[in-house]
A and B are shown apart, each in its own frame.
Chain A
């Protein structure tokens, strides 16, 4: 009898608790669209790295909303309280807040950062994408990653519980910006060590951000709940359901999402025509990207003709493209940064001028397109209306023939677009949507600095560089190195190359570049060291290994000298300006980034065409939704500012 009563009471109480009556408040749940996320490890370059930036994890610095800032954000201290930096910008010392906690109640200390950064650097994560975070600049990172040095040799040290020192291998003026990214966050040591494979799973994961992953079903959703131990600014949302896939707008209409992205022109028209949805409509310009095309850089010297490239860039009616093809979901873009941005305001735009373009084409040696071989525009997937429009414009305005060739998507993205240099590519183009990955200074160039690395060389030089790349890899498998005779040609090359190297260092006018080139370890010192080690080597395997490494050092230097001497003058000039920009604080770099950008843009290897808009519908009761404008965007992120009005 009593048991029954107790059971009834218990059930009633549970129901009341669930309905929020006992708590006195209703649970505030927000459902948002998100990428299908393959886990919650923060350091991989995958959808979860966006979540790691201020939602489930936090680092020393983070993003806060700033309508005037680049990408609509500003960098603010989060766990850091203050920072001091040495004169040479190589030693950064952070004082940490003392009130920050992990979701299990443990305090967040400098030791957490020390341990986590060593863990990231260790060979325990062999596929750690170091290019995506600040660790690549930390003293001894690469030696630790390769296993040559132990983890405690990494330039990260907890001076006490709340003071962290980071020593860098090179000056970096943008460490604060770098430390905002996912790889800048600490992990909870005990949890990771207890289960290195599964520590990140909901139920096990310990986080230091405002939300904890409660459940995760790939292909369906992830649920985040409020971290009760979080200390810091945050909104009133108790639970966030991130939904993967589905029909966004229809889910929103059915009340199953609090925001949904508009992905197509028909969807956009539908939303604008609907009396309710049109009131919930929002849009923002993805101004950290530029969308356009780039030359497909193979060995064909045809596109080495600057006037030809310029003529093509000036013969596209960007206005018409945005209105007629992209249905108003994009803005015309004639420079890497749009007007209205601190960098774009200082840049010249590529005009739409058919007459001038025709004149340039004639000066390039192809009047009215005559004599110009058929060009190839590489695309992937089921057709690209933007490319069709551009090709049509070239035909109509210049008489230039360009065929569209479809490439399998894996090959296209991995070789044609982002490898930037594809020996088998014919003279022509690929599309590119180039973003900033974060707010580091180098990202201000929005990948247009690929002009420096890959494009702005004569085709003959590209060919030679390609040969050196193959040679460099071949050294890994070469047999020999047992006798002095094997070293003789290498030593001769070393001496010849040293003369060439000294000449470069003496004649290069830019001090920063000279400093870069002469930063230890110098290539010839490495070579000499390997030669000495070879002499002392005991086994044939060791001897071969030192000889191979020395061969790689020589090939690498040969390649460098061919590359340095083979750059077009514009390439060298752009590179000097780039160096000047990255060697000063971020706010100062913004003021001079346009010099390098303008030189690169004026070579027309990479041509901006349009700027995409992010468009979405949003629950009017929802505030503080931040748009992620970096690469992987558009997406929503940094949910700690979310508020759901009653």
Chain B
């Protein structure tokens, strides 16, 4: 019952936070230099349009504003947007007047979701054991090697690693395709590329967290009670050292859910990343505010999920 009440309370907070985020985003968009309505927004260069008379240009602008609901005062635009957004109706974007944003998102989200989950899963499956081995074999060549690999993973940008992987596996070894997102074979390179950075982070966190836990009194007590190393680590140390990992996975996943633009473009993965990044680059306001909405929503929900998982991992945590 405590959990349900807690979730409800959090949902109300999420709702209020989202409203605040949207209002701030809208106001910032209007305060940004340059016209909110710009000639390019209806995909016309002013140079060409300049050959039209002011009246003709006015007709185009009027039509454009009607289509995107810009012909009402700002406060009304925000209210209209909020009313639609909580029903997941976002209207068309400037860069794609052909279809509503929700249709674009619905098509792309499953792809991004799959890529995110597979990458995080891979990062966990490899990162956690690496971190554990590093901690247990502290200051040995094994520790140095895993630390070095983790450093490489977090040092180099994923885009560069992706290119290197393509050159090795697609061009020289000819064992994997360069891009695409249909067959499991096509998914290997993008998943590995996206997984590398979180993998490195997880391994490093796992190592320090486990070392921290191994120095705790209760671990010493477990050993003193005659527990084998394996039993003590798996039963006592691991569970507690997982808490920081959960903390970093939440936001990592939230960010991955909104797409990884470089990787998607590199491997032609039809996910959300390109959509949202282009929104900012092209000043596609409807898409920009929607991407902010979606990103905020996923971060807030992931944080909620993390808090719930916390309590399962650590019984001392109570829902307040």
Contacts and interface: CB of A to CB of B under 8 A. Distances in A.
A246 B47 contact: no
A106 B76 CA distance: 47
Given A38-B96, A131-B52, A556-B54, A414 B39 contact: yes
Nearest to A416: B34
Contacts of B137: none
B62 interface: yes
B270 A219 contact: yes
Nearest to A472: B54
A142 B59 contact: yes
A247 interface: yes
A461 to B, nearest CB: 16
A419 B39 contact: yes
Interface stretch (A81-89, A111-119, A332-340, A447-455): A447-455
Interface string B279-291: 0111100000000
A409 B281 contact: yes
A131 B60 contact: yes
A254 B178 contact: yes
A125 B66 CA distance: 11
A447 B47 CA distance: 7
A144 to B, nearest CB: 10
Contacts of A128: 60, 63
A41 B35 CA distance: 27
A423 to B, nearest CB: 11
Interface in A403-419: 408-411, 413-415, 418-419
Interface residues of A, number: 58
B64 A126 contact: yes
A123 B65 CA distance: 13
B266 A254 contact: no
Contact of B281 (A36, A41, A245, A410): A410
Given A126-B63, A420-B47, A453-B50, A410 B104 contact: no
A131 B48 contact: yes
Interface in B32-85: 32-35, 38-52, 54-56, 59-60, 62-64, 66-68
Which of B39, B47, B67, B271 has the most C-beta atoms of chain A within 10 angstroms of its own C-beta?
A: B47
A46 B177 contact: no
Contacts, number: 173
B308 interface: no
B167 interface: yes
Nearest to B51: A442
Contacts of B140: none
Contact of A44 (B68, B97, B108): B97
Given A39-B99, A219-B268, A414-B39, A247 B166 contact: yes
A253 B109 CA distance: 31
Contacts of A38: 95-96, 98-99
A129 B38 contact: no
Contact of A247 (B56, B163, B269): B163
A45 interface: yes
A349 to B, nearest CB: 24
A375 interface: no
Interface in A217-269: 217-221, 243-247, 250-251, 253-254, 256
A218 B104 contact: yes
A219 B63 CA distance: 29
Contacts of A45: 43-44
Contact of A256 (B43, B49, B52, B177): B177
A454 B268 CA distance: 41
B116 interface: no
B45 to A, nearest CB: 4
A127 interface: yes
Contacts of A41: 98
A136 interface: yes
B301 interface: no
Given A39-B99, A418-B45, A253 B171 contact: yes
A534 interface: no
Q: Which range holds the interface residue count of chain B?
A: 35 or more
Contact of B270 (A197, A218, A419): A218
A145 B59 contact: yes
Given A247-B163, A247-B179, A127 B52 contact: no
Nearest to B42: A127
A36 to B, nearest CB: 7
B5 interface: no
A11 to B, nearest CB: 21
A131 B282 contact: no
Contacts of B104: 218
B60 A130 contact: yes
B296 to A, nearest CB: 21
B113 interface: no
B178 A245 contact: no
A219 B38 contact: no
Contacts of A556: 54-55
A200 interface: yes
Contacts of A450: 47, 50
A411 B38 CA distance: 9
Given A130-B60, A414-B38, A250 B170 contact: yes
A247 B178 contact: yes
Contacts of A127: 42, 60, 63-64, 67-68, 97
A200 B98 CA distance: 9
Interface string A255-287: 010000000000000000000000000000000
A132 interface: yes
A220 B178 CA distance: 13
A244 B97 CA distance: 19
A146 interface: yes
A250 B169 CA distance: 11
A419 B46 contact: yes
Contacts of A544: none
Interface in B251-291: 264-271, 274-275, 280-283
Nearest to A45: B43
B107 interface: yes
A219 B180 CA distance: 10
Interface string A51-81: 0000000000000000000000000000000
Which of B45, B54, B62, B95 has the most C-beta atoms of chain A within 10 angstroms of its own C-beta?
A: B45
A222 B71 CA distance: 35
Contacts of A420: 46-47, 50
A559 to B, nearest CB: 8
B87 to A, nearest CB: 18
Contacts of B163: 247, 250
A434 B46 CA distance: 12
B310 interface: no
A254 B269 contact: no
A245 B47 contact: no
A246 B63 contact: no
Nearest to A434: B47
Contacts of B39: 414, 418-419
A401 B50 CA distance: 33
A4 B264 CA distance: 45
Contacts of B177: 254, 256
A47 B95 CA distance: 11
Nearest to B111: A219
Interface of A: 36, 38-39, 41, 44-46, 123, 125-132, 136, 142, 145-146, 197-198, 200, 217-221, 243-247, 250-251, 253-254, 256, 408-411, 413-415, 418-420, 424, 434, 437, 442, 447, 450, 453-454, 472, 556
Given A246-B266, A411-B32, A450-B50, 10 more contacts: A131-B48, A131-B49, A218-B108, A220-B269, A250-B178, A251-B179, A408-B33, A410-B34, A411-B283, A414-B41
22 contacts: A39-B98, A128-B60, A131-B52, A142-B55, A142-B59, A198-B99, A218-B108, A219-B111, A219-B264, A220-B180, A220-B268, A245-B264, A245-B274, A246-B265, A246-B267, A247-B178, A247-B179, A251-B178, A253-B171, A420-B50, A434-B47, A442-B51
7 smallest CB-CB distances across A and B, nearest first, come from A126-B63, A410-B283, A219-B270, A39-B98, A38-B96, A45-B43, A414-B38
